[in-house]
Amino acid sequence: MTADIPLINGTSQCTVATFSKAAYEETVSFYSHFLLLEVQPLGTSSAILTNGHIDVRVTFEENSEKQSAVEARVKALAGVEDSHDWRSEASESLVFKTSDIQQVKSRIIGEKWQHQAYPTDLFPMELYVVDPVGNVIGVTKTKNAVSTMPTAPPLRKGVFTSTAPSKTQSSVDIAKSVATSQHYPSLPEKSQKDQKAIAVMTSGGDAPGMNANVRAIVRTAIFKGCRPYVVMEGYEGLVRGGPEYIRECTWEDVRGWSSEGGTNIGTARCMEFKERAGRLKGAQHLIEAGVDALIVCGGDGSLTGADLFRSEWPSLIKELKETKRISEDDFNRYQHLNICGTVGSIDNDMSTTDSTIGAYSSLDRICRAVDYIEATANSHSRAFVVEVMGRNCGWLALMAGIATSADYIFIPEKPASSREWQDQMCDIVAKHRARGKRTTIVIVAEGAIAADLTPISPKDVHKVLVDRLQLDTRVTTLGHVQRGGTAVAFDRILATLQGVEAVNAVLDSTPDTPSPLIAINENKLVRKPLVDSVRLTKSVADAIQAKDFKKAMALRDSEFVEHLNNFMAINSADHNPPKLPHDKRLKIAIVNVGAPAGGINSAVYSMATYCMSQGHRPYAIYNGWSGLARHESVRSLSWKSMLGWQSRGGSEIGTNRVTPEEADIGMIAYYFQKYKFDGLIIVGGFEAFVSLHQLERAREDYPAFRIPMVLIPATLSNNVPGTEYSLGTDTALNALMDYCDVIKQSAASTRGRAFVVDVQGGNSGFLATNAGLAVGAQVSYVPEEGISLEQLSQDIETLSESFATAGGRGRFGKLILKSHNASKVFTPEVLAEVITAEAKGQFDAKSAIPGHVQQGGLPSPIDRTRGARLAIRAVGFIESHQEAIRKARADDDDFDLDDKDVSATAAVLGIRGSHVVFSSIRQLYDFETELSKRMPKVIHWEGTRAIADHLVGRKKVETNN
């Protein structure tokens, strides 16, 4: 690398201060290696590093307090490598020019330094690292500080410029990772004993998504060069053994499994495995099959058995050797059994994970059933008691209660005495009826109990409603309907990603590491000790049996407790005395901006009812900013006027894409001042993001905007900076997934057809990427990558190989997902025609345009419950930031628009990694947004694309410009 001159004000000298001897030596070493500078010591406490063009002076002064601050800064920057732009976090950064940035990148990778690359890591124009004292140091290949044109690399003597085409193709063929005698993605015909063999089984109650989990494990094992096996019928198959029950699996065997419910490899209860003799048989059969790793998808009982099996393994194989049931060679080869767990349970009762495979699919069945029941209940003004599953966990009942606005719920974690629950339920139901509600929905978990551990049955609830309130009441037990059907998009994606991670976990495992459980915490996959997770899960049931309900609630994750508190607040609305005193009560407005998205109505309903319970007055701005500016469309929300909103799609208060500046920001400020709003919640997409920015910037001229303001992202594109999740994305994913499942069935029936599906999302490939993973699409084209002729040619070739391999078998419908903005030239129709022409009669392609069907009908339970959670968090933000901006509202002279405390009162509420966070709109808009593309700078779903590709055997072509 040639580091020429810094691009900061044209300076060529800088000084770096250090505050410990170790930091001094590390800093000198860093700059000499990073910038290839020559070190010239100036005594023991300073040095000059130079190359003739630039001078970097490093000084040393012992100061433990400053050194601690430096270490904290370095740690903070390292912790946000994937989520924040370092340039926005540091007070300043120093950038050098280079003529060979790829050489710099190679050096960075060789030194294993954390780095950030822009615009992409593959073709960087700028590279940034953090030096040992927390300074952000960068290199660029641009000609000057504001240019986007790279400098020309120097020509070496004797080397002529190439006459080759400007684009060169390099094909990354993942088939090379698989031993195969035919065209990829067909499977190996013969087993190789030196390969690791990984078996997967499903055990316990079946759950939607188990098939997607098995598919991911099988194909990832093949991709990693391992031999995959499936154990049929759970632990029963392990005990019986033999090729009938422990089968080597092939790539084609699991084709199409993502869209199928239940578990295709079977599950059964096995009492024999609970005895040591049964586990001894299981060990023998695994060794006979050559299996040395086992992944179990099941509930806490199944995972307990798996961990016990691993802990006993040394004694089991020792006994097998002593009884001559295995050979000495087998004993030496299979000294250790690696175990990994993925949780498949509709109850969502496993501690340490936010969600289990199948839980949200079951919740979806419940919510659909209650939505249907609501219609007939409204017709007859009836009460319905709905029993849902959940023996020791009330998660299903609680989440269904929030998603459907149930009047009352019974969960085992929060029981009351027999007299108390009867009085509480009747009081709430009577108040709801008195205010004009025609329906009553009571949801009962099957494990519901009173404080004395007496079971509460639906019949008990029915009797109370009839005897005390004289309501026409019916009981509905959903039963195994909750387990049936295909998995929702979230469970398919969760099961797939956990399956991939489970294979990685067993390959990383050593004899000394505890068996891992693949969990998810706030959208982030993590590995937890399996035995600890099972122990915590069982301790909840033990606490309930010991009547220690406070401990049982404490053992649930914080989100469960938050949801319960939210449900109670929403349910009380304005029926009880407000919680806050008069001087703390506020006027809070809510507005929808952008396209409709699932969950918007849930957010509005939850915000309004929570405000009522606190004593605040909620206002709705109807028809967006244009409705306010033109027609003064502001209404105070009442509880009765919002009945049923929680489960409705679209936007009940109206929405459009007009921003405040387009509508008339002066009139908007006038109405804000007229109604004396104390806070604002905006629910919407990128236009809502721009709206918040405009309002925050207008605070200097309009004091009416000097109030706490929060944006709740809601768009199927998921393109709002500051969050990895937006309301509406889950509803859109499910709508698109259902559409794709239907046309894939049509394609499979035709035996030689592929469908090109047009996917919405603007410049964001989030929807196409995740839908492709959920439905097993052969290809997804996204705006971030575009469509190159080389890649298209390779994809058509792979499709041809797949159809040739199919041989007319079923489940061979192919899907190609194309984001609308992935290419202006290749429309779905043109793409289908090109593929059909290139297929030369082997197969054909048709286009399919789902259009606005992708916005979905009824919102999914995830969007409903997250809408409620985020709306209540937003109200809490407005409450807690009143004091920070109160003075600014009254004093024009002292108002400072750039004051950090003031700018922090306008924020985007989002989910980032494992946290729900409020991010300043100023920070996001200025540093983390690609305004021209209406996109965040960091694309958080890029890693998902590689997984989606390798699970369908797609060969990726890299095109170097």
The catalytic residues are 347
934 annotated ligand binder: yes
Any idea of the CA torsion for 886, 891, 893, 899, to the nearest 10 degrees? 0
> How far apart, in whole angstroms, are the C-alpha atoms of residue 494 and residue 208?
11
Q: Which long-range contacts (CB under 8 A, 24 or more apart) does 306-313 make?
A: 306/339, 306/341, 306/515, 306/530, 307/339, 307/341, 307/515, 307/530, 307/531, 307/534, 308/279, 309/279, 309/282, 309/283, 309/337, 309/339, 310/337, 310/338, 310/339, 310/515, 312/276, 312/279, 313/283, 313/337
The answer to whether the beta carbons of residues 566 and 553 sit under 8 Å apart is: no
Element (H, E) at 430: helix 418-434
Residue linked to tokens 């047009």: 758
- Establish whether 481 is an annotated binding residue: yes
Cβ atoms 783, 266 nearer than 8 A? no
| Residue 914 labelled as part of a binding site | no
The reply to whether 270 sits in an annotated binding site is yes
Residue 299 assigned to a binding site: yes
Q: Is 210 annotated as a binding residue?
A: no
Strand intervals (E) in 868-948: 906-912, 915-920, 929-930, 935-936
Token readout for 783 is: 């705006």
Amino acid, single-letter form, for residue 461? V
498 is in an annotated binding site: no
Supply φ then ψ for residue 384, to 5 degrees: -125, 135
| 364 assigned binding-site residue | no
Residue 45 is labelled as binding a ligand: no
Q: Would you call 91 helix, strand, or coil by DSSP?
A: coil
Q: How far is Cα 768 from Cα 71, in angstroms, rounded to an integer?
A: 41
Dihedral angle, C-alpha 304, 307, 309, 312, nearest 10 °:
-120
CB of 684 closer than 8 Å to CB of 653: no
651 assigned to a ligand binding site: no
Identity at 791, one-letter amino acid code: Q
Q: 492 labelled as ligand-binding?
A: no
Relative orientation angle of helices 766-775 and 729-750, to the nearest 10 degrees: 50
Instruction: Find out whether 14 is annotated in a ligand binding site.
Output: no
**E strand map for 98-140:** 115-119, 124-130, 136-140
Q: Which tokens sit at 906? A: 């306008």
483 is in an annotated binding site: yes
What are the start-end ranges of the H helices in 35-180? 64-79, 86-89, 101-111
Does 138 belong to an annotated binding site? no
598 marked among binding-site residues: no
Question: Is residue 666 part of an annotated ligand binding site?
Answer: no
Residue 102 labeled ligand binder: no
Rg value, the chain, Cα: 30
Does 107 belong to an annotated binding site?
no
* C-alpha–C-alpha distance, residues 742 and 138, integer Å: 50
716 is in an annotated binding site: yes
Q: Is 225 annotated as a binding residue?
A: no
Q: Is 480 among the annotated ligand-binding positions?
A: yes
Q: Of all residues in the chain, what percent are helix, strand and coil, respectively (each to 5)?
A: 45, 20, 35
Q: Is 87 annotated as ligand-binding?
A: no
What does the DSSP assignment read for 198-255? EEEEE-SS--TTHHHHHHHHHHHHHHTT-EEEEETTHHHHHHH-STTTEEE--TGGGT
Is 852 assigned to a binding site? yes
Distance, CA of 216 to CA of 213 (rounded, Å): 5
Is residue 474 annotated as involved in ligand binding? yes
Residue 466 annotated in ligand binding: no
Does residue 854 have a known ligand-binding role?
yes
Ligand-binding site membership of 301 (annotated): yes
C-alpha span between 867 and 144 (Å, rounded): 46
**Which residue, 739, 737, 784, 730, is CA-closest to 941?**
784
**Residue 391 annotated as lining a ligand binding site:** yes
d(CA 268, CA 699): 64
- Is 419 assigned a ligand-binding role in the annotation? no
269 is in an annotated binding site: yes
Nearest CA to 947 out of 488, 497, 492 is that of 497
Distance CA 649, CA 596 (A): 8
873 is in an annotated binding site: no
Q: Is 785 annotated as a binding residue?
A: no
Q: Is 809 annotated as a binding residue?
A: no
Give 281: exposed, middle or buried? Use CB within 10 Å, 0-12, 13-18, 19+: buried
From the annotation, which residues make up the binding site for beta-D-fructose 2,6-bisphosphate? 657, 715-719, 753, 760-762, 846, 852-855, 934
From the annotation, which residues make up the binding site? 205, 269-270, 299-302, 345-347, 382, 389-391, 446, 474, 480-483, 657, 715-719, 753, 760-762, 846, 852-855, 934
From the annotation, which residues make up the binding site for ATP? 205, 269-270, 299-302
From the annotation, which residues make up the binding site for Mg(2+)? 300
From the annotation, which residues make up the binding site for substrate? 345-347, 382, 389-391, 446, 474, 480-483
